[in-house]
Structure 1
Amino acid sequence: MPDNLHRAPILVLIQTVENTIHPVSVKVIETACSLGINDKRAVYGVLLCKALTPDLKNRLKHTGLAEVFVCRNNLLDSFIPEIYVDLIEECVEDLKPDVVLACATPEGRAVSSILAARLKTGVTADCTALCFDSQRHLLQTRPAYGGNIMAEIITPTARPQIATLRFGAEQNFCSEITTKITIKDTIPKFALPKGYSTQWVDKTGASESSESETIIALGGGVHKKEDIALFAKTAQKLNATLMCSRALVDRGWLPRKDQIGLSGQTVSPKLLITLGVSGSLQFLAGTEDVKRLCAVSLDENAAILKVADCPIVGDMYEIIAEIDKALS
């Protein structure tokens, strides 16, 4: 730990995708570094992988972290939570961090919850903001009660304080600090049961949808399932991706991979057009990095109209018909 940093450090669980740092991990690292600077704490990272590619190693060097511990093992080619937690727990025992941060991804949630249970501490999932309070407890902010309120949570006594974070688009690291990389070839304690196998499930489309430059999002204002084809046609003309709020997923009209919000995708398009979306905190949590928001709603008191760059009170069917006519 650097000489001028005396408080317990922060540890980031770094996640990768396709041999690069996961976009959510980039934002988690940025948040951790900001917390570290403001509270004079060292910030470390731990990355688990089968092999460290030169490109990934170079990316890690520019994260701004004090040091990244890379644990290598062939078993890490597949995501097996118990193996990951074994190795992370060793790192926690060595560093004794006050805070452990992970991505609010399926992998991050699985690892953080098992780690919290082993260490007999708490974990706050899907945080949207973090800061230290006057007593240096980590103040963890997240939507609650279906996204209707923002709850502020602390872990008063147990340590480390563990949280998973949601963020949007990847940004480039701008730190001038060169991160030290320490590589360890490790052997996890967990032994695979006899006959254990992994199965890959095709989720094609989820990440591509959330990364589109233009997105049209449908909400509860859609009258019937058959109407979705009408909006899909307009989206195609605009070269936009069609997504939705939780309301349409709950009705079974669109798949969860197309959902925007706390329990769906975090999006960061240049333009998001919402049609018939009320704008719950649950939905808005997935739109924080949207560059421009155009919202259409019949309800002039809809929450989404208050945050939209271009709020329109009107019938979504009439407006989409006018757009379609103009495009033709």
Structure 2
Amino acid sequence: MTSSKPSRAARAADWWRAQRRLVLWTTVISLAALVVVVLVARWLRELPAVEEFIATYPGIVPPPEGTPVGIPAWLGWQHFLNSFFLLLIVRTGYQLRSKQRPPGFWTRDNTRWPRTRRNPRRMGIHLWFHLWLDAFWVLNGVVYVVLLFATGQWLRIVPTDWAVVPNALSAALQYASLEWPTENSWVVYNSLQQLAYFTIVFIASPIAILTGLRLSSVWPLEGPLVRAFPEKLAKALHYPVMLFFLLFTFVHVVLVLTTGALRKLNQMYAARDADDWIGFAVFAASVVVMVVAWVLAKPPLLKRIAATSGRVQG
């Protein structure tokens, strides 16, 4: 007698179909909302009070004295590594959420601790890869924050004046009306950029790290930490934070490509304030590297790499 309960593979297929429908409807609704936002913003800019507000708060707060000018080369490398790891983290995150049976399982081969031999830690190959990517992303983030404060670059992304709030609203209105605010990112970010970068570095990233740790096997199974930070709360935060990273990345890429792409790519990838194609070439090479990594990060290669630190089955 056969069971009427759908198989794990069928449930995974249904999940992916639901995700595709969600993406389709989200895209349609987002485009409609974007059109409405643009029309409302352009109408607002015709009002004298709004134009006076923009004149008073043009969107930029002068940087504090001593703020470094320019974007150093190490920031370009950090930018690439951050993008590289986040791309694969999001991919493996979606693979985990699909609830599809992993193509293999990794078990830590640790013969030093008797307790580990009795209770080996077993996880799917996608989770194993996800955790390693998380570790490299966190390490890269630690290096970034250390260099940020060591070189004074933190002054470019940490607000030091409450005027950043009305200026950020002004910049957002100017972007929404498709009349970009005047800016020179080589010298100072506009207030909306500053708040966005500050949020990514000092709010969203720590939340992603903390919730990721809570959902991993690193977190203790019992004790005050479990009660202080319930797993349900971590799950409720972890996925929305990932969506926030995706939204930020999308908006960031669109604005880079529509507000002087060559100069922006030079600043971000070549540490140069110029309009030539050097930064674009470096950016294109980084995209090739990410595409190659995406293609190669398949179960056969992951299993071989995982086998160097444990037993792989399946």
Q: TM-score, structure 2 length as denominator? A: 0.22
Compare CA radii of gyration and give the structure with the larger one.
2
- The structure carrying a bigger helix percent of its residues is 2
